[in-house]
Chain A
Amino acid sequence: MTTVKTIHTIPTGRTPMPEQAPQVRATNFEEVALGYTLPEALREADRCLECKKPRCIAGCPVGIDIPGFIRAIAQQDMRRAYEILRQDNPLPGVCGRVCPQESQCEVRCIVGIKAEPVCIGRLERFAADYAMAHFEAETPSMAPAGKKAAIIGSGPAGIACAADLARAGVDVTIFEALHMAGGVLKYGIPEFRLPKSIVDREIALLKQMGVTIELNTVIGKLFTIPQLMQEKGFDAVFVGTGAGFPKFQGIPGENLNGVFSANEFLTRVNLMRGFRHPEYDTPVGMGRQVAVIGAGNTAMDCARCALRMGAEAVTVVYRRTQKESPARAEELHHAMQEGIQFQWLTNPVQILGNADGWVSGMECIRMALGEPDASGRRAPVEQPGTNFVIPVDTVIYALGTRANPIIAKSTPGLKTNQWGYIELDEQTGMTSLPGVFAGGDIVTGSATVILALGAGRRAATGMLQYLGLRPAEASAEARAAKTGA
């Protein structure tokens, strides 16, 4: 290893990700991207220049030592690659699959200036999958710190917070409302993009670190936050309940039979395994001609699930253009490959129903992009006289979510903003209640898995300070805090 790598010595093109063929995968729920083989991973790892001043790390909301783990892969020290990842990210197998690397670490990759950036996400996934297949998990032994923390919600924010606290010796209990741990990773993201077995094994590692997970526990109903702190002896609480309260548009016909929120549709398909009905009891109730409103990642998940559930035609309707679509480029690309149709610059005005109250069509209007609005994006403007009807029997709303009201309603003194999201003190990361912290979608509104992880880690830092414990890995924490958001 004496030769210095330069942009001219490394393989130029990115190593392609092996995938199921679009026609095949559109009919099954198996994972679309198959993952690198060892030779593919080694080739791609070889493309990393191991920059002295890497820019990629600053793009990672949890501050993973990216050149470090890639170097370990190149040296075929997979155990170390995995350990480096796990230091900063309790969910590398998840993030390697669902992170928007193209707008985070990879967009800053120095190789990307002259050539295509290193496939950091694919390598992260490889290292995680390799470790899971080949190594026994090591259980780190921590000296008990004599403090108890409650985490509300077992989604990405809660998992990240729990991992950092457990590492510092805190006795951590996660309370999960549903019957399965993982939050949005379980109910939201479909099997073909994130197999549930990946989530389960990363959660199993969390349990090996000593974290207790209590399922079926709706905090705010079964116990309130004040009860957790006063009666159950928790010294600090983290609220990571997500923002899963579905939004509708408020147009006529939204309560017709055949209209779903994305949450309902995805929960029926994923969490309740409706795609295996009748083996599993929960029906999905989908028709044949499906419209999905919205063009984010959740919309793509709905559209692609609908296709796999046997829909004859699936149309995504979005009021702006493809360029403004919030979905990852890869998700859009995959959806298009699979045959999802797109109606850009189109907005629903009403959902039409038949005599029995079932959806029979969706009336839409064409839009044009006008002047930039407050957000700086060009605001879509209706084009009068362009109304038309899409013949559909199922409509799925994927327009994002709002804050769930249960925690706020049951926690006196917990300050929320006008949309119901929890307010934090910027210095300490604490809510208006002493010892109660929060992070993830319940603070920011709908965002990504990795941003929630970053928020969970920042909260853990604040909680450790609040509890008077020294953070276990001060440098990593500080890095996460600096680069997050």
Chain B
Amino acid sequence: MSTGYRIVKKEVYSSVTYMWEVEAPDVARAAQPGHFLMVRINEEGERIPLTVADFDRQRGTVTVVIQAVGKSTREMMALAEGDSILDFIGPLGEASHIQKRSKVILVGGGLGVAPVYPQLRAYKELGSTTLSIIGFRTKALVFWEEKFRAQSDELHIATDDGSYGHKGFVSQVLQMLLERHRDTEEVVAIGPLPMMRVCCDVSHPFGVRTMVSLNSIMVDGTGMCGSCRVTVGGKLKFACVDGPDFDGHQVDFDELMRRQRRFQREEQESLQQYEEECRLLGRTA
């Protein structure tokens, strides 16, 4: 590969979660919290939207955290530090509209922990009191605890199985914090769709604005294909150019969750084929 974007650092957080720090000085210069990227690793690859998890303008790098769920993300996990990927396009979408809040709760679930981080840091820089909740299925999957702790006035960790921190879901911790901190001005919740939806249901009775980041299926990521369309407040929106951040209380999560299953069959087929190839070649998938 003559051109491309080099993975300068790779960290593996679990059997399925990994971090890439990618050399892309122009993207790093323009990136803001809330932005996303389109990534394609090779000629045959698909374009995958990934939310910006961090950026370092001095180093000229952008960080993403990825979960190996399908063929492409497994293939990506097999890449090593020093390897290059073909396309790394961004920053895309509207940056998060971050304004000083006296108190804000930031909730990250699983992979969503990563994109919450730059928002947390931005709120902290503005002088907001930051209460963070990060949740994982189990202790072995926890990442960025220290990064979060450094920017949070309070950090709460939840695991589904209780192996670390609170036993249960981030939404339960959110409920508790909202009761305790009636002066909370905003909630940011990023993670799997069911988690964001429950967080929105929890915060709704408190009347606290709750922003979510929608990582819906996209092809181009620039407003061209409309694959990422989502109903927000009864209106048609494109997550790529109108979002990815939206007022979670307005999002039609039912529809979005259904739309996220559109390519399930093909994805399954691709994954099976990839696993079969890996078996034949004696590689680990």
Residues of chain A whose beta carbon lies under 8 Å from any beta carbon of chain B: 177-179, 187, 215-216, 218, 221-223, 244-246, 248, 250, 254-255, 257-258, 260-261, 263-264, 267-268, 271-273, 277-285, 356-357, 404-406
Residues of chain B whose beta carbon lies under 8 Å from any beta carbon of chain A: 26-27, 30, 40, 44-47, 71-72, 86-92, 219-220, 222-227, 229, 231, 236, 241, 255, 258-259, 261-263, 266-267, 269-270, 273
B90:A218 contact, CB within 8 angstroms? yes
B270:A281 contact, CB within 8 angstroms? yes
A-B pairs with lowest CB-CB distance, top 10? A283-B266, A264-B225, A357-B258, A281-B46, A261-B226, A282-B46, A246-B226, A244-B224, A216-B89, A179-B87
Contacts of B229 in A (CB 8 A): 255
Interface SS of chain A: helix, strand, loop or mixed? Answer: loop
A405:B30 contact, CB within 8 angstroms? no
A264:B258 contact, CB within 8 angstroms? no
A221:B92 contact, CB within 8 angstroms? yes
Pick the contact of B262: A223, A263, A272, A285 (CB < 8 A).
A285
Pick the contact of A223: B30, B71, B223, B255 (CB < 8 A).
B30
Q: Could you list 8 further interchain pairs (A-B, Cβ under 8 angstroms) beyond the known A223-B30, A264-B226, A281-B71?
A: A222-B26, A223-B26, A254-B236, A255-B259, A257-B262, A264-B219, A282-B46, A406-B222
Pick the contact of A257: B222, B258, B273 (CB < 8 A).
B258
What is the bound-complex CA distance between A250 and B89, given in angstroms? Answer: 31
Asked if A222 meets B266 with Cβ closer than 8 Å, knowing A267-B225, A406-B223, the reply is: no
Minimum distance in angstroms from B64 CB to a CB of chain A: 15
B270:A179 contact, CB within 8 angstroms? no
Minimum distance in angstroms from B212 CB to a CB of chain A: 18
A281:B223 contact, CB within 8 angstroms? no
Contacts of B45 in A (CB 8 A): 281
Contacts of A215 in B (CB 8 A): 87
A-B contact count (CB 8 A): 113
Pick the contact of A221: B88, B90, B236, B269 (CB < 8 A).
B90
Minimum distance in angstroms from B283 CB to a CB of chain A: 17
24 CB < 8 A contacts A-B: A177-B220, A187-B220, A222-B90, A255-B255, A255-B259, A257-B261, A257-B262, A258-B262, A260-B227, A261-B226, A263-B224, A267-B224, A272-B46, A272-B47, A272-B219, A277-B270, A280-B44, A281-B270, A282-B47, A282-B219, A283-B267, A283-B270, A356-B258, A404-B224
What is the bound-complex CA distance between A254 and B261, given in angstroms? Answer: 16
Contacts of A254 in B (CB 8 A): 236
What is the bound-complex CA distance between A260 and B217, given in angstroms? Answer: 12
What is the bound-complex CA distance between A258 and B273, given in angstroms? Answer: 24
Minimum distance in angstroms from A165 CB to a CB of chain B: 24
Q: Which partner residue on chain B sits nearest A184 by CB separation?
A: B224
Q: Which partner residue on chain A sits nearest B48 by CB separation?
A: A281
Contacts of A178 in B (CB 8 A): 220
Pick the contact of B263: A187, A248, A283 (CB < 8 A).
A283
What is the bound-complex CA distance between A222 and B92, given in angstroms? Answer: 8
Minimum distance in angstroms from A292 CB to a CB of chain B: 15
Contacts of B267 in A (CB 8 A): 283
Contacts of B87 in A (CB 8 A): 179, 215-216
B92:A278 contact, CB within 8 angstroms? no
What is the bound-complex CA distance between A286 and B217, given in angstroms? Answer: 15
Pick the contact of B88: A177, A216, A271 (CB < 8 A).
A216
Contacts of A250 in B (CB 8 A): 236
